[in-house]
Structure 1
Amino acid sequence: MKLPVILLHSSPAKACSTLSGLLPLLLCTDALAFSFSAGDLTGSLDTTLSYGQMYRMEKQDKNNDDINTNDGNRNFSKGKLVTNAGSIVSTLKLSYGDYGLTLKGRGYYDHQIAKNRNDYFKNSRTEEPSQADPYNSFPKKTRELSGRKAELLDAYVNASWDIFSLPFQVTAGKHVLNWGESMFYRGGVNSAINPMDLSTYRMMNYNLNDLKELYIPMEAVSFNLGLTENLSMEAFYQWKWKETVLPPVGTFFSETDVLADGGNTAWADQAPELFLLVRDIYPQAIQDSCSILFGLYDPCDNGLLGLSPGVIMDGIVQVAKMAPKRNARNDGQFGLSFKYTAQALNNTEFGLYFVNYHSKEPILVGDMGGYQGYSMLPLVLGQPFWNGRGLGNILDFITNPAGTIERWGIDAGLLMAIDAAGTVRGWRQYPEDIRMYGFSFATEWAGVSWAGEVTYRPNMPIGIMTTNDLIADLVYQTPFAIDTNPITRLIHGGDGTATVMGQIMTLEDTLYNYERVEMFNTSLSAIKFFGAGLTFDSSLLLFNIASEHYRGSSLKYTGYDTSQPVSLQKAGLVERRLTGRGNRSYYEGGTDKDQISKDAYGFTLSFEGTWNNVFGLTLKPFIVYQDAFKGNSHMTGNFVEGAKAYSIGMRAELDNLEAEMQYTEFWGGGMNNQMRDRDNTSFNVKYSF
Structure 2
Amino acid sequence: MRRSGDHRAATRAHKHNLRRLGGEHREGKTMSNGNFWRAGTAGLLTAATLLPAGPASALGFQLGEFDISLESSLTAGLAMRTEDADKELIGKSNLANAVDVDSSFVGAYSTNGDDGNQAFSDSGDLFFGQIKLSSDLTIQVGDWGVFARGNYRYDPIVKNETLFDDFDYGPNRSRTQADRRARQSAAEDAAGDDGELFDLYLFGNFKIGDRAASLRIGRQVLNWGESTFIANGINSIVPVDARQARGPGAEVKEIFRPFGMVWGSMELVRNISIEAFYQFGWEGTIIDPSGTYFSTSDFLGAGAADVQIGFGRCNENILPTLATQDALRDATGNPNLDIGARAGAPTCDDAAGGTNVPELAANEPEDGGQYGVRLNFFIEALNSTDLSLYAINYHSRLPLLSGVNVAAPGVAASGGGFLREYPEDIELYGISFNSFLEFGEIAVQGEYSLHKDQPLQIDDVELLLYSLGIEQALAGALGGPVSATTVDDIRGPFVPGAYTQGYERFDYHQWNLSFSKFIGPNWTGSDQIVLLGEFAGQIIDDLPDPDELPFEAAATYVPNQAEGAAALGLPAQDRAGYADDAAWGYRLVAAFRYLNVLNRYNLTPSIRYFHDVKGNSPAPISTFLEDRKQIVLGVNAEFLDAWEAGLSYTMFLDSQDTAAAPIDPATQAGQRISGYSSNVVEDRDFVNLFLRYNF
Task: State the distance in 2 between where 1:129 and 1:84 align.
Answer: 33
How far apart are residue 633 of structure 1 and its match? 0.3
Q: 8 Å contact 1:649–1:662 — kept in the other structure?
A: yes
**Cα deviation digits, residues 181-219 of structure 1 (max 9, x gap):** 111111121222x2100122113442xxx2121101111
How far apart are residue 575 of structure 1 and its match? 3.5
How far apart are residue 100 of structure 1 and its match? 1.4
Decide which of 580, 583, 588 is 2:553's aligned counterpart: 580
Task: State the distance in 1 between where 2:112 and 2:532 align.
Answer: 37
Task: State the distance in 1 between where 2:160 and 2:520 align.
Answer: 48
1:536 has 2:561 as partner: no
Decide which of 531, 541, 544 is 1:551's aligned counterpart: 541
Decide which of 508, 512, 519 is 2:497's aligned counterpart: 508
How far apart are residue 617 of structure 1 and its match? 1.4
Partner of 2:689: 683
Q: 8 Å contact 1:318–1:422 — kept in the other structure?
A: no
Helix, strand or coil: the match of 2:358?
A: strand
Greater relative CO, 1 or 2 (CA 8 Å, sep 6+) = 2
Partner of 1:449: 443
Decide which of 400, 419, 427 is 1:427's aligned counterpart: 419
**Cα deviation digits, residues 557-607 of structure 1 (max 9, x gap):** xxxxxxxxxxxxxxxxx6453222454544554322111111111111111
Q: Residues 240 and 645 of structure 1: is their aligned pair in 2 closer, same or farther, counting only changes over 3 Å?
A: same
Please say which of residues 36-45 and 92-101 is displaced more in the overlay. 36-45
Partner of 1:278: 326
The structure with the larger Rg is 1
Task: State the distance in 2 between where 1:516 and 1:326 align.
Answer: 17
Helix, strand or coil: the match of 2:116?
A: helix
Partner of 1:470: 463
How far apart are residue 114 of structure 1 and its match? 2.2
Task: State the distance in 1 between where 2:536 and 2:574 align.
Answer: 25
Task: State the distance in 1 between where 2:429 and 2:584 align.
Answer: 20
Q: Residues 442 and 596 of structure 1: is their aligned pair in 2 closer, same or farther, counting only changes over 3 Å?
A: same
1:100 has 2:145 as partner: yes
How far apart are residue 552 of structure 1 and its match? 3.2
Q: 8 Å contact 2:447–2:512 — kept in the other structure?
A: yes
How far apart are residue 342 of structure 1 and its match? 0.4
1:651 has 2:639 as partner: no
Decide which of 407, 410, 421 is 1:417's aligned counterpart: 410
Partner of 1:67: 111
Amino acid at match of 1:679: D
Amino acid at match of 2:497: E
How far apart are residue 493 of structure 1 and its match? 5.6
How far apart are residue 501 of structure 1 and its match? 6.3
Partner of 2:338: none
Please say which of residues 613-622 and 213-222 is displaced more in the overlay. 613-622
1:621 has 2:605 as partner: yes
1:330 has 2:322 as partner: no
**Cα deviation digits, residues 419-467 of structure 1 (max 9, x gap):** x4342221111111110001000111132221101000120000111x3
Partner of 2:594: 611
Amino acid at match of 2:615: G
Partner of 1:519: 508
Task: State the distance in 2 between where 1:246 and 1:269 align.
Answer: 24
How far apart are residue 508 of structure 1 and its match? 3.4
Task: State the distance in 2 between where 1:268 and 1:517 align.
Answer: 29
User: TM-score, with normalisation over the residues of structure 2?
Assistant: 0.76
Partner of 1:146: 191
Amino acid at match of 2:685: D
Amino acid at match of 1:353: Y
How far apart are residue 4 of structure 1 and its match? 3.5
How far apart are residue 56 of structure 1 and its match? 1.0
1:661 has 2:647 as partner: yes
Q: Residues 185 and 282 of structure 1: is their aligned pair in 2 closer, same or farther, counting only changes over 3 Å?
A: farther
Amino acid at match of 1:142: A
Q: Name stretches of at least 5 consecutive residues in structure 2 with no aligned partner.
A: 1-40, 91-109, 315-321, 332-347, 566-570, 658-676
What's the RMSD between the two structures over aligned residues?
A: 3.3
Task: State the distance in 1 between where 2:414 and 2:395 align.
Answer: 32
1:87 has 2:132 as partner: yes
Helix, strand or coil: the match of 1:227?
A: strand
Helix, strand or coil: the match of 1:108?
A: strand
Decide which of 255, 258, 265 is 2:299's aligned counterpart: 258
Decide which of 617, 627, 630 is 1:633's aligned counterpart: 617
Q: 8 Å contact 1:541–1:608 — kept in the other structure?
A: yes
Helix, strand or coil: the match of 2:235?
A: helix
1:245 has 2:239 as partner: no
Decide which of 454, 464, 467 is 1:460's aligned counterpart: 454
Q: Residues 12 and 80 of structure 1: is their aligned pair in 2 closer, same or farther, counting only changes over 3 Å?
A: closer
Q: Residues 131 and 52 of structure 1: is their aligned pair in 2 closer, same or farther, counting only changes over 3 Å?
A: farther
Q: Residues 494 and 464 of structure 1: is their aligned pair in 2 closer, same or farther, counting only changes over 3 Å?
A: closer
How far apart are residue 269 of structure 1 and its match? 1.6
Decide which of 242, 249, 256 is 1:215's aligned counterpart: 256
Please say which of residues 588-597 and 535-544 is displaced more in the overlay. 588-597
Q: In the TM superposition, what are the counterparts of 1:120-269 in structure 2 within 5 Å?
A: 120=165, 139-192=184-237, 194-206=238-250, 210-269=251-310
Task: State the distance in 2 between where 1:499 and 1:38 align.
Answer: 65
Q: Name stretches of at least 5 consecutive residues in structure 1 with no aligned partner.
A: 14-28, 284-310, 374-415, 557-573
Q: Residues 329 and 451 of structure 1: is their aligned pair in 2 closer, same or farther, counting only changes over 3 Å?
A: same
Task: State the distance in 2 between where 1:363 and 1:149 align.
Answer: 26
Q: 8 Å contact 2:416–2:497 — kept in the other structure?
A: no
